[in-house]
C-alpha cells in the first residue's frame, strides 16, 4: 500500500475520531432526558448507604433542598427517618438580607436536633458556599449532632470557581446523581483543601475520599464509635 | 425486510366469544349500581365547610373545605383537594394531598403529595411520594415493611402536633420542590 493511501486512511480515522469527540459530552457525564440535567457517577453515596444499612431506622438529615425522589429513595433503601433542613436557602436569605456575617452565630443555633441524634448527614456541597467562620460553625454543629459511628457525606469542589449556581443532587441510583442547577445569589467561596476539611470536622475521621472527574471531591466522614481521647 | 412494520401490527383478533346474554343484559345496570355504590362510599366536604374538632369515619373522604383538629380514617383514603386546608393531625390508610396540610400525617399505606400540594409537618408512612412542585417541610419516617414500627413522626393520637417549622423558621418560608 502506498504511503499516500495510508495517510488518507489515517486522515479518515482522525476525522471520524475528531467528530466523535465533538459530539460526546463531558467525560463522566451521561446526559439525562433533559440536556441541562446531566447524570454523573458518585462513589461516596454507595459507601454512605452501606454505613447506614446496618442501623435500624436510622435518622438522616439532608442539608439540601427537598427533592421528592430522594426522600423516596432513602426511605426505601434505609427505612429511615428523613429530615430536610435546607441550608442553601438559609445562605440565600442571609445574602439577600446582607447579613452574611451573622451566619456563624446563626448556625450555632440553627438545628434543633439533640446532640448525637443523627445517624447520617447529607451535606452535599453546601460548605463551598460559606466563608471560613460560617463553615466552621456549621461543621461544628453537624459534628455535634452526629451519633457515634454516624456518617457524613460532603462534596467539595477542587477547582476554583465563581459560578453562581447551587446544585440539587438528585439520586438516580446508588452510583449516579443527576445535577440540577438553580441560581444562587452568592458564588462558591475559596475551595477547601483536604487539610481544611479535616480541620473543619475535628472529631470526625475521613473514611473515604474520591476525586471525581467533575472536580468534585466526595468525602465520607465518620464519627468514631468510641471517641478517641 | 420491508414488511417489518407488519409484524408490529396487532394480529387479527378473532371475534370475541359470545358472552352469555344474561351478562350483556345486566352489564349497564351493574355498572350503574357500582357507580352509585362508589358515590355512596365517597364523602366530600365542600369548599364552604369548616370543621373544628375530631373527624373520623370508615369511608373514603375528600376534603375541599377547612378542617382543624384531628382526622381519623384508619381504613380509608383521605384526599385533601386543591381547595382543602387542614390544620390537624391526620391518620388514614392513604393520604393524597393536593391542598394544604399543617400538622403531622400518619398513613399505614402511602402519603402522596401532588404538584402544588403542601405539607408542613412530619410524615410517618411506609411509602411517601412528593411530586415536583409540591411543598414539604418536616421529617419523613418510612418504616420498612415487616420492620419494627418507627417512632411515628406524628406521635400518638391525641398528642399535639409538633410545630412544623424546624429551626425556628416560620412555615411561610418553605420551599417549592423542583423550583
pLDDT tens profile B48-95: 899 999 999 999 999 999 999 999 999 999 999 999 999 999 999 999
Averaged confidence pLDDT in chain B: 72
pLDDT in tens, A37-86: 789 999 999 999 999 998 888 999 999 999 999 999 998 888 889 999 99
- Interchain CB contact of A96 with B (< 8 Å): no
Higher-pLDDT residue of B26, A142:
A142
Task: Report the chain A residue with the minimal C-alpha distance to residue B137.
Answer: A84
Is pLDDT of B153 > 80?
A: no
Question: What is the spatial distance between Cα B21 and Cα B39, in angstroms, rounded to a whole number?
Answer: 28
Averaged confidence pLDDT in chain A: 85
| pLDDT attached to residue B40 | 56
- How many domains, chain A? 1
Is pLDDT of A193 > 80?
A: yes
**For residue B170, what pLDDT band results from cuts at 50, 70 and 90?**
very low
| pLDDT attached to residue A227 | 54
Residue A14 lies in a domain: no
| pLDDT attached to residue A76 | 87
The C-alpha cell 440539587 sits at: A168
| pLDDT attached to residue A96 | 95
In chain B, positions 140-179, which contact chain A (CB-CB < 8 Å)? 140-144, 147-148, 150-151, 153, 166-168, 173, 175, 177-179
Give A-chain residues touching B109 at CB under 8 angstroms. Answer: none
C-alpha angle A18-A21-A23 in degrees, rounded to nearest 5: 110
Is pLDDT of B136 > 50?
A: yes
Calculate the CA A211 to chain-centre distance: 12
Any residues with CB less than 8 A from the CB of B149 and at least 6 apart, and which? B143
Any residues with CB less than 8 A from the CB of A213 and at least 6 apart, and which? A27, A28
CB atoms within 10 A of CB A204: 22
Is pLDDT of A194 > 50?
A: yes
User: Does an H or E element contain B62, and which?
Assistant: strand B60-63
Any residues with CB less than 8 A from the CB of B40 and at least 6 apart, and which? none
Give B-chain residues touching A69 at CB under 8 angstroms. Answer: 130
pLDDT in tens, A117-127: 999 999 999 99
| pLDDT attached to residue B175 | 44
Is pLDDT of A21 > 50?
A: no
Is pLDDT of B98 > 50?
A: yes
What is the DSSP code (8-state) at residue B176? B
- Interchain CB contact of A43 with B (< 8 Å): no
Give A-chain residues touching B112 at CB under 8 angstroms. Answer: none
Across A151-165, average pLDDT? 88
**For residue B31, what pLDDT band results from cuts at 50, 70 and 90?**
low
**Domain span at A75:** 29-222
The C-alpha cell 402519603 sits at: B111
Reported residue count of chain A is: 229
Best of A61, A70, A71 to substitute, by most chain B Cβ atoms within 10 angstroms, is: A71
Q: How much is the pTM?
A: 0.72
Q: Max alpha carbon distance in chain A (Å)?
A: 79
Residue A17 lies in a domain: no
Give B-chain residues touching A71 at CB under 8 angstroms. Answer: 128, 130, 136, 140
| pLDDT attached to residue A16 | 43
Is the Cβ pair B140, A86 closer than 8 Å? no
Give A-chain residues touching B104 at CB under 8 angstroms. Answer: none
Query: Chain A to chain B, count of Cβ pairs less than 8 Å apart?
Result: 80
The domain that holds A174 is classified in CATH as 3.40.50.150
Any residues with CB less than 8 A from the CB of A24 and at least 6 apart, and which? none
Is pLDDT of A90 > 70?
A: yes
Is pLDDT of A94 > 90?
A: yes
Instruction: Give me the residue spans of the domains in chain B.
Output: 43-166
Residue A110's region, left for phi above 0, alpha for psi from -120 to 50, else beta, is alpha
| pLDDT attached to residue A35 | 52
What is the DSSP code (8-state) at residue B148? P
Amino acid at each position: 500500500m502506498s504511503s499516500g493511501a495510508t495517510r488518507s486512511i489515517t486522515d479518515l480515522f482522525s476525522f471520524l475520531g475528531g467528530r466523535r469527540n465533538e459530539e460526546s459530552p463531558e467525560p463522566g457525564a451521561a446526559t439525562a432526558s433533559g440536556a441541562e440535567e446531566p447524570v454523573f457517577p458518585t462513589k461516596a453515596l454507595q459507601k454512605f448507604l452501606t454505613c447506614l444499612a446496618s442501623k435500624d431506622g436510622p435518622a438522616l438529615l439532608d442539608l439540601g433542598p427537598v427533592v421528592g425522589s430522594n426522600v423516596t429513595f432513602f426511605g426505601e433503601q434505609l427505612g429511615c427517618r428523613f429530615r430536610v433542613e435546607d441550608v442553601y436557602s438559609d445562605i440565600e436569605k442571609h445574602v439577600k438580607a446582607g447579613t452574611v456575617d451573622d451566619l456563624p452565630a446563626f448556625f450555632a443555633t440553627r438545628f434543633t436536633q439533640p446532640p448525637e441524634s443523627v445517624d447520617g448527614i447529607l451535606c452535599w456541597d453546601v460548605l463551598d458556599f460559606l466563608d471560613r467562620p460560617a463553615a466552621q460553625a456549621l461543621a461544628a454543629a453537624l459534628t455535634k449532632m452526629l451519633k457515634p459511628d454516624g456518617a457524613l457525606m460532603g462534596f467539595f469542589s477542587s477547582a476554583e470557581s465563581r459560578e453562581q449556581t447551587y446544585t440539587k443532587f438528585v439520586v438516580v441510583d446508588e452510583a449516579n446523581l443527576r445535577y440540577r442547577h438553580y441560581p444562587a445569589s452568592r458564588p462558591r467561596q475559596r475551595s477547601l483543601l483536604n487539610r481544611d476539611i479535616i480541620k473543619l470536622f475535628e472529631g470526625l475521621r475521613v473514611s473515604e475520599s474520591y476525586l471525581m472527574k467533575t472536580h468534585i471531591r466526595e468525602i465520607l466522614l465518620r464519627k468514631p464509635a468510641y471517641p478517641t481521647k | 425486510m420491508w414488511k417489518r412494520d407488519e409484524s408490529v401490527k396487532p394480529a387479527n383478533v378473532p371475534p370475541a366469544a359470545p358472552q352469555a346474554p344474561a351478562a350483556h343484559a345486566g352489564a349497564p345496570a351493574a355498572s350503574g349500581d357500582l357507580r352509585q355504590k362508589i358515590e355512596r362510599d365517597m364523602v366530600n366536604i365542600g369548599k364552604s365547610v369548616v370543621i373544628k374538632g375530631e373527624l373520623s369515619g370508615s369511608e373514603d373522604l375528600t376534603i375541599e373545605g377547612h378542617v382543624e383538629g384531628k382526622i381519623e380514617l384508619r381504613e380509608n383514603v383521605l384526599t385533601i383537594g386543591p381547595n382543602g386546608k387542614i390544620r390537624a393531625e391526620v391518620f388514614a390508610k392513604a393520604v393524597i394531598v393536593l391542598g394544604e396540610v399543617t400538622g403531622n400525617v400518619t398513613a399505614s399505606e402511602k402519603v402522596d403529595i401532588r404538584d402544588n400540594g403542601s405539607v408542613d409537618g412530619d410524615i410517618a408512612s411506609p411509602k411517601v411520594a412528593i411530586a415536583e412542585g409540591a411543598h414539604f417541610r418536616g421529617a419523613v419516617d418510612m418504616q420498612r415493611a415487616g420492620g419494627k414500627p418507627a417512632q411515628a413522626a406524628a406521635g400518638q393520637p391525641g398528642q399535639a402536633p409538633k410545630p412544623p417549622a424546624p429551626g425556628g423558621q416560620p412555615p411561610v418560608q418553605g420551599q417549592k420542590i423542583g423550583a
